[in-house]
Amino acid sequence: DAKTTQPPSMDCAEGRAANLPCNHSTISGNEYVYWYRQIHSQGPQYIIHGLKNNETNEMASLIITEDRKSSTLILPHATLRDTAVYYCIVSLFVNAGNMLTFGGGTRLMVKP
Partner 1 sequence: GAGVSQSPSNKVTEKGKDVELRCDPISGHTALYWYRQSLGQGLEFLIYFQGNSAPDKSGLPSDRFSAERTGGSVSTLTIQRTQQEDSAVYLCASSLSVSRGNTIYFGEGSWLTVV
Positions in the binding site for partner 1 (CB under 8 A): 30-32, 34, 36, 42-46, 49, 51, 91, 93-105
The rounded distance, in Å, linking the Cα atoms of 12 and 82 is: 10
| Cα 48 off chain centre by | 8
Which residue, 30 or 67, has its beta carbon nearer to partner 1? 30
Which residue, 40 or 112, has its beta carbon nearer to partner 1? 40
Instruction: Kindly state the smallest distance separating residue 14's Cβ from partner 1, in Å.
Output: 26
> Nearest 5°: phi and psi at 33?
-105, 125
Which residue, 49 or 69, has its beta carbon nearer to partner 1? 49
DSSP string across 81-99 = GG-EEEEEEEPEEETTEEE
Instruction: Kindly state the smallest distance separating residue 56's Cβ from partner 1, in Å.
Output: 15
